[in-house]
Amino acid sequence: MLKVAAVVNSMRGPFLVLTPVCVFLGVSSTIASNHEVDLLLLFLAFLGALTAHISVNTFNEYFDFESGLDLITIKTPFSGGSGALPENPEAAKAVLYVGIVTLLITVAVGMFFIWKWGYGIAPIGIAGLLLIVTYTQWINKFPIICLLAPGLGFGVFMVVGTQYVLSGQYVVLSWFLAAVPFFLVNNLLLLNQYPDIEADKKSGRNHFPIAYGTAASNVVYAFFVLASITTVVLGVLLDYFPMLSLIALLPVPLALLALSGAVKHGAEISVFPKYLAVNVVVTIVTPLLLGLSMILA
């Protein structure tokens, strides 16, 4: 039972909430584009997105344990890994197998959609698979790529990918919508890296806060918040989004609160977890409100 619990914890369940939110945004794009939503296709789209997320999480847990990084990080609800494998090292191989199996399920789902719609989804699918298998071992060593990879995975690949597999074609609206979680998910991972800077540095990582420091990272965080606001406002002004979409700006004060905590505390932000918590809320609630506005309007 302890081994099973360790495997389940390695999936990072609380973070998996982000998957249905991004899939939902893709669904809202499909509905707003006057396409019917086939429930079977939606189920498969969600399955592929969820297994992709589980795969990258479990690979991350396994490789961080094998490298010893998990043994030196300070665990918080938002950073440092789940801690499941240091407590149950005998579960390591099982976690690796879960990562492989969920990756294969993702590939199978992708192959089905290629069979149904053709190769239009292939570029997103291949890029997504490369992100999964290279994130922990390679991407984390390149600051700019590491900074942008989370937003690409959840914002572009999940949102635009969901819209495509439900309708069989790309629409401008889904790319516009995807920009919002692109910026916010980048910020989510960026801030969560602050508490792990020293441990990550020792393990050979070189993500943005390591390479450029927390002050520069705070500037990037502020830019991404501003970019997400600008995307929503432009979307409304250009008639891609309904006026109701301005409700997606309601969480902005929470983003500014998170930024203030990052500026005040830098790498010590984990001592004040409320700042990391509100950053999570912004990342989830903003695209959720945006998707709701597209459907309700």
Read off the pLDDT of residues 227-259 as tens digits, 9 standing for 90 and up: 999 999 999 999 999 999 999 999 999 999 999
Report yes or no: 236 and 242 within 8 Å, Cβ to Cβ: yes
Question: What is residue 5's predicted lDDT score, i.e. its pLDDT?
Answer: 83
For 83, left (φ over 0), alpha (ψ -120 to 50), or beta?
A: left
DSSP line for the chain: -HHHHHHHHHT-GGGGGHHHHHHHHHHHHHHHTT----HHHHHHHHHHHHHHHHHHHHHHHHHHHHHTGGGTSPP-SSSS---HHHH-GGGHHHHHHHHHHHHHHHHHHHHHHHHHH-GGGHHHHHHHHHHHHHTTTTGGGSHHHHHHHHHIIIIIIIIIHHHHHHHSS--HHHHHHHHHHHHHHHHHHHHHTGGGHHHHHHTT---HHHHHHHHHHHHHHHHHHHHHHHHHHHHHHTTSS-GGGGGGGTTHHHHHHHHHHHHHHGGGGGGSTHHHHHHHHHHHHHHHHHHHHHHH-
Q: Give the closest residue to 147 by CA, choosing from 74, 76, 221.
A: 221
Question: What was the pLDDT predicted at 82?
Answer: 64
Please give the pLDDT value at position 1: 62
Domain residues for the domain of 285 are 2-296
Averaged pLDDT, 138-159:
95
pLDDT tens string 97-112: 999 999 999 999 999 9
Give the count of domains, the chain. Answer: 1
Q: What is the structure's pLDDT at 293?
A: 97
Here the tokens at position 2 are: 């302890």
Residue 249 structure tokens: 């700006």
| Tokens (6 digits) for 159 | 């949102």
pLDDT on residue 81: 63
Q: Determine the pLDDT at residue 203.
A: 85
Q: Quickly state the pLDDT bin for 19 (edges 50, 70, 90).
A: very high
